[in-house]
Chain A
């Protein structure tokens, strides 16, 4: 079939599913809504793989399909279009594959939810928005998709809208993303202002000629392209939860776990990385912006990893892990290794979605307990989950055999990034070395917290009792007796974060409330993703980052000539550093959580300075609360209470009405009831009118 037809079906299938389930979900029922959305997604996924295989092994050339005009105002031209090139082909398979598996997974996970059509409609809507983002041929559609995924993310984080924390988290995500989007919008405007077009194909050839344009402003020199790229990167920071704008991502875990896997791990949060890679023709001419990207990426990687060391909520650890891995991708892009960044994005999508869905399976099996301190020894009860989680952990920690060039997915992509940072350092960019060292350090930290999750959850001694679980089921049934189901599975409404359980009522000691493995709808996605986590690196590293990667990308990624110089010849210690760090992390985790079980808890109980600092996420929330939130609240209060209530209302409606009542009371007081008062007023009136008349007539 014509690839242009294929991509059109891929793009609009999810939209049709979303509209059907969203508008007619109540009429056609739960099963039909789930069926139609999931069906369209699997169709999209299969077609995406067809397109991708044609791209990789066939002879598909880049093309752009234009569907309709979007905005045509003067010189400002924007069209609805589908741009297929190496980048969007990769993203197509990532988005549709993970999304379709998450759709299927949600059949089991959301089985008891009363508003399934809404959930599936949102998921499909997200997928459509994400596809329109990656297929954009100009900034306007990119922005449309950017906002569309933001909207879907907002809706899905707050999906359980009766939960205050979920509402707060969804608003936080939205607001923080506003900051990023503001920068993004400014970046787009800068591009249009400077180049008169927002279409990528027309814009990129203009870049080289404008090198050297800039302004002296406030004592500094600002290059045009640096400025544009830096502003656009602010947008990427917001969407991809980079340092300073990262605070929304951990809170976004309030959403259902499939959502966390799809949006907040595999796809949407990588949109920033995708954008930087897509704009490589611009970033390559923006050295300052690239440095910013590198530093921010590296700092994020370190920051998130350190915080991840200490968290107890299983989803939060994985969320910080996502944040940290996104940092890897950004500093890869920052040092010019866009291919490596995209490759890590690709492999990360598989193993991170796997970890999240695996965590969801654990949560599901443990009656919606998310605190890992209440887990332990689950390998016996959740064998499949145990297996796939272990695979995911091996993949993210990048275990492999360096000299055989064989390993799990993360081994290829992460090592490529770390090596690229080293060679950038060698090519005269000191930030490259900075990124390299942080990359190695974070590899060790990643290994530690990832294995900590695995060991803490599946090994050691059980830190739960059947009574706890029963109590959990019990609470849940009470909270939701509206949707009664004796074999209620997967009701995730009691997801809590870092919160201790309510005191278990002992004495309900009947029944066999043991952790249970998830239904097949949840297991199949896990198994499929495991394959990806194992093989994605091995299978595709030649195409993505091999010697001849130019044939794969076909011009979608631009590397300035100088960057090509550094070859693949690294000192031995550079080659070994990541794997050594990773194994070290694994061994420490094993020591603390298997051989000396309880050592971690003891360390935590000590409340060491570093531990408190990490545990409280470097106090970022507190810092923002004290500065931005308080300042905004202060300003808001000032305008609301001072400006609106006191000034406008006080002098306006309230003041006038109070005055009216006063006048009325005064007039009422005159009404004494005494006839002589009345007669007196009448005579006063006569005298007054006569006086007035004389005065008026004389004038």
Chain B
């Protein structure tokens, strides 16, 4: 029995034991950061393989669910985490922060995110959320000599604690009214009668999770943390944790409250539109690219939530597709920022990017691709992502929200185009440093995915995502 359960938890076990082993290894050989980093990447890749091949089912009395959705999201999360290590570690070392904890923390965060993706009850939900959050708090403050980074870490931690409280309070309400922490039991309880107490609990859980995906009005931490945290850490922040939290969102709503879809749909629409609006309008006045992309991520999460708000399997599929494609875009964009510096100083503002096309044509081209993709211009990947979302929303009859979402997309187009204009048409702001090869490779590789590889990738992503979406309890 226990061995059968463990078979469903291979990816988690690999990451947990591996992380501990790396920690021990690091403790004895603190200089061997590259070795630890390499080990972490290997661990994540092995875990991804294990996640892809593990048996489907439930384990630990339903606390751990390993279905197609869990497998798909875990593979995506582990791969995104694996990319973060070679992107981040050299960056820290160039700035004199030679710590072996960075890769270990990434692995632990990945472990927590994996658990979120396959959580089957409220307890595993909370454990997963806390495990990855704690790792992220530390990561944000990793550059601890830097005041801004420390501030970012602290803010994130305090506000994260508040959201944890909301999550926990909601969970306790649900438990109190449903009599169980298992999603399947809650679904039964919620299906029998629309209990206001239960739904109150759900709202609190939604609020807690909205904080994790940085959806409005729980987005306030995002710009500050993105600006303050080290760039490669942001590259990680903006990608995998968002996917994990969105999958968790889908799990709670789809597995535990499918019967209350009519109710949570309305709440999600409000959150989605508020996010799109905040992301689009507040981004207009930003000049710091990391802040700007924080608002961009708020807006984009809004679209993902809008997909989920459709309340259908198609909506979940759209959300998953959107998040995967968005993850690639945002990682690539921050990889560009990681790669760029001028006389050792990071280039973070739009003015810094003036005339980049002459200085660093490959990176400028990659950033142009990411900006156009975020804008949703066909045939870049961002267009397909938005296409899925709007199609799902329209099929679910959400005409009004879809139109408002499109308007937000038009407004946001301004700041993406402003960046492109600065890079292509403004006069150069001076010579830049040679970009590090690993960041540049990641940036260019992901840009190539955003266009044109995406056109090929969609042919196998589409069925995989559809299969994953069907694992949830939505029609």
Q: Which of A678-699 contact B (CB under 8 A)?
A: 678-679, 681-682, 684-686, 688-690, 692-694, 696-697
Cβ contact of A693, chosen from B199, B210, B278, cutoff 8 A: B199
Known: A661-B284, A679-B158, A693-B203. A685 touches B218 (CB 8 A): yes
Instruction: Name the segment of B80-88, B181-189, B262-270, B310-318 touching the other chain.
Output: B262-270
* Minimum distance in angstroms from A121 CB to a CB of chain B: 38
B204-241 interface bits toward A, Cβ cutoff 8 Å, 1 = contact, 0 = none = 10110011000011101101100000000000000000
B283/A689 in contact, CB under 8 A:
no
A689 vs B217: C-alpha distance when bound (angstroms):
10
Quick check: is B155 within 8 A (CB to CB) of the other chain?
Answer: yes
Known: A664-B281, A664-B283, A678-B220. A686 touches B411 (CB 8 A): no
Quick check: is A663 within 8 A (CB to CB) of the other chain?
Answer: yes
A690/B203 in contact, CB under 8 A:
yes
A211 vs B204: C-alpha distance when bound (angstroms):
93
Quick check: is A667 within 8 A (CB to CB) of the other chain?
Answer: yes
* Minimum distance in angstroms from A652 CB to a CB of chain B: 13
A72 vs B346: C-alpha distance when bound (angstroms):
71
Quick check: is A677 within 8 A (CB to CB) of the other chain?
Answer: yes
* Minimum distance in angstroms from B148 CB to a CB of chain A: 11
Q: Which of B273-300 contact A (CB under 8 A)?
A: 278, 281-286
- Closest partner residue, chain A, to B170 (CB atom): A686
A598 vs B203: C-alpha distance when bound (angstroms):
103
B282/A685 in contact, CB under 8 A:
no
A692 vs B267: C-alpha distance when bound (angstroms):
8
A670 vs B285: C-alpha distance when bound (angstroms):
13
A696 vs B262: C-alpha distance when bound (angstroms):
10
A679/B281 in contact, CB under 8 A:
no
A684 vs B196: C-alpha distance when bound (angstroms):
20
B162/A660 in contact, CB under 8 A:
no
B281/A663 in contact, CB under 8 A:
yes
B223/A671 in contact, CB under 8 A:
yes
* Minimum distance in angstroms from B165 CB to a CB of chain A: 10
A663 vs B284: C-alpha distance when bound (angstroms):
9
Q: Which residues of A contact B199 (CB under 8 A)?
A: 693, 697
Quick check: is A665 within 8 A (CB to CB) of the other chain?
Answer: yes
Quick check: is B159 within 8 A (CB to CB) of the other chain?
Answer: yes
B278/A667 in contact, CB under 8 A:
yes
Q: Which residues of B contact A697 (CB under 8 A)?
A: 194, 196, 199, 263, 266
A661 vs B218: C-alpha distance when bound (angstroms):
22
B285/A665 in contact, CB under 8 A:
yes
A685 vs B285: C-alpha distance when bound (angstroms):
23
Quick check: is B399 within 8 A (CB to CB) of the other chain?
Answer: no
Cβ contact of B282, chosen from A671, A678, A690, cutoff 8 A: A671
Quick check: is B425 within 8 A (CB to CB) of the other chain?
Answer: no
B159/A689 in contact, CB under 8 A:
no
A677/B267 in contact, CB under 8 A:
no
Quick check: is B354 within 8 A (CB to CB) of the other chain?
Answer: no
A664/B284 in contact, CB under 8 A:
yes
* Minimum distance in angstroms from A464 CB to a CB of chain B: 53
Q: Which residues of A contact B220 (CB under 8 A)?
A: 670-671, 677-678, 681-682
Quick check: is B271 within 8 A (CB to CB) of the other chain?
Answer: yes
Quick check: is B119 within 8 A (CB to CB) of the other chain?
Answer: no
A83-126 interface bits toward B, Cβ cutoff 8 Å, 1 = contact, 0 = none = 00000000000000000000000000000000000000000000
Quick check: is A571 within 8 A (CB to CB) of the other chain?
Answer: no
A590 vs B33: C-alpha distance when bound (angstroms):
110
A667 vs B282: C-alpha distance when bound (angstroms):
5
- Closest partner residue, chain B, to A676 (CB atom): B158
B155/A678 in contact, CB under 8 A:
yes
A375 vs B161: C-alpha distance when bound (angstroms):
98
A679 vs B164: C-alpha distance when bound (angstroms):
12
A280 vs B216: C-alpha distance when bound (angstroms):
83
- Closest partner residue, chain A, to B269 (CB atom): A696
Q: Which residues of B contact A673 (CB under 8 A)?
A: 224
Quick check: is A428 within 8 A (CB to CB) of the other chain?
Answer: no
B278/A696 in contact, CB under 8 A:
no
B403-444 interface bits toward A, Cβ cutoff 8 Å, 1 = contact, 0 = none = 000000001001000000000000000000000000000000
Cβ contact of A689, chosen from B163, B196, B221, B271, cutoff 8 A: B271
A693/B263 in contact, CB under 8 A:
yes
Quick check: is B166 within 8 A (CB to CB) of the other chain?
Answer: yes
A693/B267 in contact, CB under 8 A:
yes
Quick check: is B200 within 8 A (CB to CB) of the other chain?
Answer: yes
Cβ contact of B159, chosen from A660, A663, A682, A690, cutoff 8 A: A682
A660/B217 in contact, CB under 8 A:
no
Q: Which residues of A contact B411 (CB under 8 A)?
A: 660
Quick check: is A58 within 8 A (CB to CB) of the other chain?
Answer: no
- Closest partner residue, chain A, to B220 (CB atom): A678
- Closest partner residue, chain A, to B207 (CB atom): A686
Quick check: is A74 within 8 A (CB to CB) of the other chain?
Answer: no
A684 vs B194: C-alpha distance when bound (angstroms):
25
A670 vs B217: C-alpha distance when bound (angstroms):
11
Quick check: is A668 within 8 A (CB to CB) of the other chain?
Answer: yes
Q: Which residues of B contact A1 (CB under 8 A)?
A: none
Quick check: is A626 within 8 A (CB to CB) of the other chain?
Answer: no
- Closest partner residue, chain B, to A694 (CB atom): B196
* Minimum distance in angstroms from B315 CB to a CB of chain A: 19
A686 vs B217: C-alpha distance when bound (angstroms):
9
B159/A679 in contact, CB under 8 A:
yes
A671 vs B222: C-alpha distance when bound (angstroms):
10
Q: Which of A645-683 contact B (CB under 8 A)?
A: 657, 660-661, 663-665, 667-668, 670-671, 673, 675, 677-679, 681-682
* Minimum distance in angstroms from A669 CB to a CB of chain B: 10
Q: Which residues of A contact B200 (CB under 8 A)?
A: 690
A678 vs B161: C-alpha distance when bound (angstroms):
13
B284/A693 in contact, CB under 8 A:
no
Q: Which residues of B contact A677 (CB under 8 A)?
A: 220
A684 vs B166: C-alpha distance when bound (angstroms):
13
* Minimum distance in angstroms from B252 CB to a CB of chain A: 15
Q: Which residues of A contact B158 (CB under 8 A)?
A: 675, 679
* Minimum distance in angstroms from A280 CB to a CB of chain B: 64
Q: Which residues of A contact B285 (CB under 8 A)?
A: 661, 664-665, 668
A670 vs B274: C-alpha distance when bound (angstroms):
15
Q: Which of A6-30 contact B (CB under 8 A)?
A: none
* Minimum distance in angstroms from B433 CB to a CB of chain A: 30
B221/A678 in contact, CB under 8 A:
yes
Q: Which residues of B contact A678 (CB under 8 A)?
A: 155, 159, 220-221
* Minimum distance in angstroms from A687 CB to a CB of chain B: 10
* Minimum distance in angstroms from B417 CB to a CB of chain A: 13
B159/A692 in contact, CB under 8 A:
no
B157-178 interface bits toward A, Cβ cutoff 8 Å, 1 = contact, 0 = none = 0110011001000000000000
Q: Which residues of A contact B196 (CB under 8 A)?
A: 694, 697
A679 vs B159: C-alpha distance when bound (angstroms):
6
Known: A665-B285, A667-B278, A688-B217. A682 touches B270 (CB 8 A): no
Q: Which of B57-81 contact A (CB under 8 A)?
A: none
Known: A664-B281, A681-B220. A675 touches B159 (CB 8 A): yes
B159/A668 in contact, CB under 8 A:
no
Cβ contact of B207, chosen from A663, A664, A667, A689, cutoff 8 A: A689
Most buried by A among B203, B204, B206: B203
B282/A668 in contact, CB under 8 A:
yes
Q: Which residues of B contact A671 (CB under 8 A)?
A: 220, 223-224, 282
A671 vs B224: C-alpha distance when bound (angstroms):
9
A470-500 interface bits toward B, Cβ cutoff 8 Å, 1 = contact, 0 = none = 0000000000000000000000000000000
Q: Which residues of B contact A684 (CB under 8 A)?
A: 217
What are 11 residue pairs bridging A and B, where the CB atoms are less than 8 Å apart in the complex? Answer: A660-B281, A661-B285, A668-B282, A668-B286, A681-B220, A682-B220, A685-B210, A685-B216, A688-B217, A690-B203, A693-B267
> B-contacting residues of A (Cβ < 8 Å)?
657, 660-661, 663-665, 667-668, 670-671, 673, 675, 677-679, 681-682, 684-686, 688-690, 692-694, 696-697
Beyond A693-B267, A697-B199, 5 additional contacts (C-beta under 8 Å) are A661-B284, A679-B158, A682-B159, A682-B217, A689-B271
* A-B interface, 10 closest residue pairs, ranked by CB to CB distance from nearest: A685-B217, A667-B282, A664-B284, A678-B220, A664-B285, A663-B281, A664-B281, A696-B266, A686-B207, A668-B285
